[in-house]
Chains A and B, each alone.
Chain A
Amino acid sequence: MDHMSPLERILRAIALALVVLFFMFPIFWIVLMSLQTNETILRSPPSMAFVPTFKNYAAIIAGRLDSNVASMSIHFMGNLMNSVILSVGSVALALVLGVPAAYAFARHKFKGSEDIAFTLLSFRFAPPLLVLLPLTLYFQSLGLANTYVGLIWVYQLICLPLILWIVRGYFEDISPDIEHAYRIAGHGWFATFRKIALPLAGPGIAAAGLLAFIFAWNNFVFALVLASADKQPVTVGALAFVTASGIQYGQIAAAIVMSIAPTLLLALWAQKYLVEGLSLGAVKG
């Protein structure tokens, strides 16, 4: 980077700006929309000049959706809470189950280990709807339909394979001899797993957890089928804005801003771990 001419520097800045604009524009536009009323949003031609209003946010937080024809109650804040519970719960469970499993698959070649690992991955092959319809029947008779436990269980189909396969790769990248050196100094396998393997794979586990969180947060179809109103996450809850009297663009935009905020903040916070993960190469050799 130090050897660039001023021209190269300028071209590079322009290119970067274009890329950022391309990716950030939808988010930027939605933020703008969330600060307008439906009338100003639907103006033709669209204009950037408007008086910002926080009415959309206020409506969502208050739980009342006022359109020009009717007023109805929505519980978007409840949806947001559900999203948090479901995503955090399923990622936590997937980490507890998946990280030790990934370690076992990486370190111990036992009979059928590849088959089991592949079966877990194959959960991702089937179209979710194919699985969901029979699952709904089972869940209803088991009493798991419309419960957090049941949903978190189904969310393992998303989170567990992801965490298992990503973290397994990180464990495989750590030289087994680093663990051997610790074990031969008189430590058991569990201490070795906790003190050596886990910290070394830490950035990889953080990356896999973050990815699983985003997938869980954005899931739509599982919750649509298996959850009723009081357990629905934001992805399903957003449907409430499509009302008989029209689509409430302003409120949708505000709801989107509020629902992407947690993942965005999480990603920004986890960024340093992701970068650390890339420099883990020093372990090898």
Chain B
Amino acid sequence: MSDGLLTLQGINKIYNETSRHPVQAVSDLNLNVAAGEIVALLGSSGCGKTSTLRMIAGFEAVTSGEVLIKGRPVHGLHPAKRNVAMAFEGYSLYPPLSVAENIAFALKSERLDKTEIKAKVAEIAHLLEISDILERSPGSISGGQQQRVSLARALIRKADLHLLDEPMGQLEPQLRALLRGRIKHFIKQRGLTAILVTHDQTEANALADRIAVMEGGFLQQYDTPEHLKDRPANLFTGTFIGEPPMNVFPAQAEVADDLVKLHLEEGVSLSFPAGAFSPPLKDRLLLEKQFMMGVRPHAVKISETGQPAEVFANQWLGDQTHIAARFAGKTIVSVRHDRAHHAPGENIGIELDASDLHLFHSDTGAAFSHGGGVE
């Protein structure tokens, strides 16, 4: 796996290592990024994603492990020697310089002549909708504009790797949607390799070829957006990815010749035709006494013949309805793309397809089945 553009091998980061309260921010991280790929580090605050990015850039030293860029070990090198570009979350624009100068100073080391620099700055400014503020000073523009200048300063460079730390956190939603497309096109067209850090799944899904989901310093899953959604590796990724989050129920299985029954709590049990589960899964279910059953809200169907549930909330979000109901001792959320009128207190029936079920080991949280097959 060392043929990629960036390879992280066994990275550990411990802050305050020698003090009485060491903090392990990143644990045994292995990651491989291919040339021309866009990878997102996705996770909630404190999951280690920004620490990882700063170790790649060289602003934080690795406690142990190796960082290789194009096969060259760089973890001992200064940031200046790593040939990476970075957009900072805090923008970090240089206040005495104008916006145009701020963007151009990233090009200083490339020894271009003035007209070339001007053309490049104009091009990137046009892309990021900041052409009209090029002569302003960083102090006089808004946070969203500063963020775009910072992004321009990183993208304009010719570097092996572009690191983007929360590149669109401060932008208005409409602009964010517009720029996502443009930035992705820009990166792909030039064959750049980029790593972005974000806590926004939409951004990660829209921009990235692969997403590294991190939690508690550990890499939970590194996969394409499609796989993260359809084949979550464990309970954490399953519930973290997707909005609203996956419904999860503790379950026990009863396997008969023609029928598979999943017993949930409070006497609720779901019956599925035996053909819906593959033979290896049925063997596996005989072994697993207790496991977790997950189903995405989009796959929860409401019908009169289904298992009984009682609605307690109904939210219309303008383009979809979220219906929350009491089901098997827990809350189940169903997403409908029409305006469903189920009032709180109403009894409904819940129907689930075997092909929509994700089954997780109850101790380790590791997934062992998606949609009736075995992992």
Contact = CB atoms under 8 A, between A and B. Distances in A.
A11 interface: no
Interface string B90-117: 1111111000000001101100000000
Contacts of B93: 178, 181
Contacts of A111: 18
Nearest to A200: B95
Determine chain A's interface SS by DSSP, over half rule: helix
A185 B163 CA distance: 12
B59 interface: yes
B80 A178 contact: no
B157 A285 contact: no
A185 B108 contact: yes
Given A199-B96, A200-B95, A184 B57 contact: yes
Nearest to A280: B95
A285 B146 CA distance: 10
Nearest to B163: A184
A183 interface: yes
Contact of B157 (A176, A177, A185, A189): A185
A4 to B, nearest CB: 28
A181 B92 contact: yes
Interface in A101-150: 111
Contact of B57 (A180, A182, A186, A199): A180
A188 interface: yes
B94 A184 contact: no
A175 interface: yes
B86 A181 contact: yes
A178 B92 CA distance: 4
B79 interface: yes
Interface string A156-182: 000000000000000000011110111
A91 B258 CA distance: 92
A185 B106 contact: yes
Given A180-B79, A184-B57, A282 B95 contact: yes
Interface residues of A, number: 21
Contacts of A240: none
A196 interface: yes
Residue among A178, A186, A189, A282 with max Cβ neighbours from chain B (10 Å): A186
Interface in A243-279: none
A239 interface: no
B121 to A, nearest CB: 14
B92 A183 contact: no
B79 A184 contact: yes
B126 interface: no
Residue among A182, A185, A188, A199 with max Cβ neighbours from chain B (10 Å): A185
Interface in A182-232: 182-189, 196, 199-200
Residue among B78, B80, B146 with max Cβ neighbours from chain A (10 Å): B80
A282 B139 contact: yes
13 contacts: A176-B59, A178-B93, A180-B59, A181-B106, A184-B58, A184-B79, A185-B80, A185-B85, A186-B108, A196-B94, A200-B95, A282-B95, A285-B90
Closest 7 CB pairs of A and B: A186-B109, A177-B92, A282-B139, A177-B88, A181-B92, A178-B92, A184-B79
Interface of B: 18, 57-59, 78-80, 82, 84-86, 88-96, 105-106, 108-109, 138-139, 143, 146, 150, 153, 157
Interface of A: 111, 175-178, 180-189, 196, 199-200, 282-283, 285
Given A183-B80, A186-B80, A187-B109, 4 more contacts: A181-B92, A184-B79, A185-B108, A186-B109
